[in-house]
Amino acid sequence: MIRKFGLVVLGLALCIFMGSAARAAGSSYIGTYVYSYEYNSDENHYIVLEDVNGKIVGRYYGTSDDFDDAREGYYAGYYVTDMRNLQIKGNVITFEVKLTENDMFSKPVDLKYKSGKQVPKSENPVWENKQLVTYAASSGNNPRKYKGNIANGEIILETGYEPRVFKKNTGNATNGKSLTPMEAYKAVLKNEMAFYSANNNKNYKLSEFDYWNDTDAHPLEVYRFTVVDMDNDGTPEVVLELTTGFDGAFEVLHYEGGTVYGFNFPYRGMLDLSKDGMYLGSNGAYDSCVLKAGAIKDTYKEETVAYSESGQDANGDLTVVAYYIGSSKVTEDEYDALTKSVFDNPAVWHDYNDSSIESAFK
């Protein structure tokens, strides 16, 4: 009886050891893998492998191109979905990706979202060409099956064309994203990466940006740019001044979770931008304000620092101008002193050209 007990204990210990060894081998696969698309980092793909109760499960973040024969004249869609039937045997990895139309979004999906159901549609609308997902299913390409090799911190998937090489992310980039904010801004300014217009709900390369969201309107072109921490969170934004030569506007670029967002401002909505992120707005000769950004995420919240307000008498004539800093009424001199502090601390602007971009984003 004692020997039998000893054999049982030995067998149990061996099972525990073998289970631990298998899990240890599998644990080396756990992590975030990035495929860097050389032409547009917005279209990078990501594989996230996790250990759930001793089993490796995965999510795939990709683009519509894997379900589209040829993309012409429109921007890609983006998705996150479970890697179905995921198996890793030896160094061979296989899985499937199956999508519905509501799984495809207009801009890259942040890695904090683990399924399409978690993605807020108000922040990331469903892709305008979502019907292509259904077409892919009818043509036998949805679900799509993937096969490749996993070893030495890489996953190499067979695509039918060139192999798609994912490298394990070992750095400290937020959410596994491969670009820093300044690298992303530089890529946008050099037309190597699209940004997402929060006003138009579209992705644009800067050279194709339609500020007015109206193909018949005269396009605005980038005249100059500046780098300013608009919301004072330690990460700067890039502000573009746009012009046609007769009209103008501003665009604020903000990096958040791997995406560069763009926010439109009319010309009179962001005058005399200062180094500390304050600027002037105007509704007329006597109605003006000093403004600054609140917290910027995928929306831009504007805060009023000070403002002036005109009034009229019964005859419609201007009678008085009142001045406020915050909610407190102040004198004209006090208001002028604040606006002067904005004037006297101007942001440093750079002409929009390759030399200035390289210099500003060393």
Q: Where are the domains of the chain?
A: 28-176, 181-360
Q: Tell me if 157 sits within 8 A of 164, measured CB to CB.
A: yes
Lowest model confidence (mean pLDDT) among 77-86, 116-125, 208-217? 208-217
Mean pLDDT of all residues in 175-181 = 60
Mean pLDDT of all residues in 273-278 = 96
Mean pLDDT of all residues in 259-286 = 88
Q: In which band, very low, low, confident or very high, does the pLDDT at 11 lie, cut at 50, 70 and 90?
A: very low
Question: Which pLDDT belongs to residue 21?
Answer: 29
Q: CA separation (Å) from 189 to 18, 22, 105, 110?
A: 53, 48, 24, 22
Separation of alpha carbons 246 and 307, rounded Å: 28
- Flag whether pLDDT at 9 surpasses 90: no
Q: In which band, very low, low, confident or very high, does the pLDDT at 164 lie, cut at 50, 70 and 90?
A: very high
Q: Checking phi first, is residue 174 left (phi over 0); if not, alpha (psi -120 to 50) or beta?
A: beta
The CA-CA-CA angle for residues 110, 102, 33, to 5°, reads 35
Separation of alpha carbons 112 and 117, rounded Å: 12
Q: In which band, very low, low, confident or very high, does the pLDDT at 275 lie, cut at 50, 70 and 90?
A: very high
Q: Tell me if 33 sits within 8 A of 157, measured CB to CB.
A: no
Question: Which pLDDT belongs to residue 19?
Answer: 32
Q: Would the pTM count as exceeding 0.75?
A: no
- Flag whether pLDDT at 65 surpasses 60: yes
Q: Tell me if 312 sits within 8 A of 322, measured CB to CB.
A: no
Mean pLDDT of all residues in 153-168 = 90
Mean pLDDT over each residue of the chain, to the nearest integer: 83
- Flag whether pLDDT at 69 surpasses 80: no
Q: Kindly state the tokens that stand for 224.
A: 């100059």
Which residues is 307 bridged to in the sheet? 289, 324
Q: Kindly state the tokens that stand for 90.
A: 């030896």
Mean pLDDT of all residues in 147-161 = 91
Question: Which pLDDT belongs to residue 172?
Answer: 33
- Flag whether pLDDT at 8 surpasses 50: no
Question: Could you tell me which residue, 284 or 162, shows the higher pLDDT?
Answer: 162
Question: Which pLDDT belongs to residue 80?
Answer: 95
Q: CA separation (Å) from 335 to 35, 59, 245, 321, 329?
A: 53, 55, 32, 11, 9
Note the pLDDT tens digit of each residue in 19-35.
Answer: 332 333 445 788 888 89
What phi and psi values does residue 46 have, to the nearest 5 degrees?
-135, 140
